[in-house]
Amino acid sequence: MHTKRSQVSVISLAVLLVSNALLAIPEVSVASQYAVVSAVKKVGPAVVNIDTVSYPKRTNSVFDMFPWFFGRPEPVQGQGSGWIYDGQNGYIVTNDHVVERADEITVTLPNKQQYVGRVIGRDRLSDVAVIKIDAKNLPSLKLHNGSPPEIGSWAIAIGNPFGLQNTVTVGVVSATGREFETSDGRRIEDAIQTDAAINPGNSGGPLCNIDGEVIGMNTLIRVDSQGLGFAISADTLRKIIPELIKNGRVIRPWVGFVYVDFTPRLARQLGMDYVEGVIIQIYRGSCAQQAGLQSGDVIVEAAGKVIKTSDELKNVIKTLKVGDKLPLVVVRGEKKIKLSLTVGEMPS
């Protein structure tokens, strides 16, 4: 009898706890839902659909010479998303891979108005492009200005997957500061990882926080996984977009060589004496060659700092601008040589 009473008490307590939890959940859920709805209402009017057409280039092959026999190649159509960065001047931001081969660009606003778009600037490395339409007084989105979004905070992805305008998916910021290389060789740095669903056609659309600010731009998904999408960070966009509008490209400093850690194992493979530092390979005709550097040189000092790892050299290089002088000390054979490199501009 005592056992039955205990069981009843435990069951009653469990029911009471579950009831209280169920009562609490709608309040949190409704508040969260309202915040998401509010953010989407703010962002949605500035998210656009981008349709592209690419015409196959002539190759002077037998297929081009006898089109009446082989038939003419069909134009390639593409689709992506974008968002209005500057509504007063008609500037729209999207991914470079959305427009890189486009011969024709059509921008469709949420109100179904269509405009011809033209590329103002592209940057393949960061996968960012700016296009312009002849329109004014359009709604614009605001880039988040501040520290990276907190892990676990809301992430709202808006875009036009498969041509379905203003599709909204919601998740969280899974990680920040991610670095990865895409299948076509672009190296994306400082990316945001999110589990908000990103589908084909979402590329170029904004990833927003609960306040309707752009924290990133959706760029790709991992096709071999679920819930793993990436966005170019607002911090990167803030640096890249103005340069694309002003110059049509991003002017990056370039030292004219690639480098890796010089390890004892690598030294044995190359038949060299080991010294702690970073071994380089130069590009022919580059500022590195002009400075007197040679492939196989081991950098042991840069800008007055001792260099033991490639990360240490990377931290020095990333502070440089085009035209800066970079003092170096390298080991070549049994000699230590001092050189001065004038930083060049990275070739397109």
**Dist CA 182 CA 174 (whole Å):** 19
- Choice among 51, 96, 123, 127 that is catalytic: 127
Q: Are 342 and 323 in contact (CB under 8 A)?
A: yes
**Dist CA 132 CA 119 (whole Å):** 6
Sequence-distant (≥ 6) Cβ neighbours of residue 172 within 8 angstroms: 151, 152, 153, 154, 155, 194, 195, 196
Determine if residue 2 is left, alpha or beta; phi over 0 gives left, psi from -120 to 50 gives alpha, anything else beta.
Answer: alpha
Q: Is 202 exposed, middle or buried (0-12, 13-18, 19+ CB in 10 A)?
A: buried
- Choice among 97, 123, 233, 297 that is catalytic: 97
- Choice among 81, 126, 174, 203 that is catalytic: 203
2 as an active site residue: the answer is no
Q: Hey, what are 264's tokens?
A: 């004892």
With tokens 């002017």, the residue in question is 251
**Dist CA 29 CA 15 (whole Å):** 21
127 as an active site residue: the answer is yes
Q: How far is CA 114 from CA 40, 80, 106, 122, 239, in A?
A: 22, 15, 7, 22, 29
Sequence-distant (≥ 6) Cβ neighbours of residue 266 within 8 angstroms: 260, 279
Strand partners, 258: 281
340 as an active site residue: the answer is no
**Dist CA 320 CA 253 (whole Å):** 7
Q: Return the active site residues.
A: 97, 127, 203
